[in-house]
């Protein structure tokens, strides 16, 4: 079966629209080149984190809870993230929308029989292309 027939176009369309609006919103403010680079790296880390297997995540979670200091630090970080979630609710909702679109596309790739590496690369390409498309649309309009 051809790879084009297996692609989840609806999920990829939602992913593309989500990242296009994100690129549009970020491009409305004055940003330097390193903010764009950090945003692209954050997109890749998000996709990489979602496409990794749960056994690898479980291995890393045991490292976090081995000592009391690490557990305390994780608790403080979680409390800070909860504070940010309530203080900047609009930013939280935008981030939640991005994560939901990536998770939906990842589930559709898994249901279509793509490997984790294929899903990572296709999600990365569509996410970064959508982000760049939003920036370019904002720049030329």
pLDDT at 64: 67
pLDDT at 41: 94
Q: Has this prediction a pTM greater than 0.85?
A: no
- How would you class 18 by CB atoms within 10 Å of its CB: exposed for 0-12, middle for 13-18, buried for 19 or more? buried
User: Which two tokens mark 12?
Assistant: 């990829």
Q: What is the mean pLDDT of each run of 10 residues along the chain (141 residues)?
A: 79 94 89 88 92 73 74 87 88 90 93 91 95 93 85
Report whether 109 contacts 1 (CB < 8 A): no
pLDDT at 57: 67
């Amino acid at each position: 079966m051809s790879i084009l027939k297996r692609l989840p176009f609806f999920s990829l369309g939602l992913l593309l629209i989500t990242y296009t609006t994100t690129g549009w919103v970020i491009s409305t403010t004055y940003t330097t080149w390193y903010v764009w680079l950090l945003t692209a790296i954050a997109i890749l880390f998000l996709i990489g984190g979602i496409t990794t297997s749960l056994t690898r995540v479980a291995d890393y979670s045991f490292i976090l809870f081995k000592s009391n200091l690490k557990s305390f630090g994780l608790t403080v970080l979680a409390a800070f993230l909860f504070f940010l979630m309530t203080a900047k609710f609009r930013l939280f909702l935008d981030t939640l929308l991005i994560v939901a679109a990536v998770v939906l596309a990842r589930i559709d790739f898994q249901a279509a029989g793509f490997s984790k590496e294929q899903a990572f690369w296709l999600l990365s390409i569509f996410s970064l292309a959508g982000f760049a498309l939003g920036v370019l649309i904002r720049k030329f309009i």
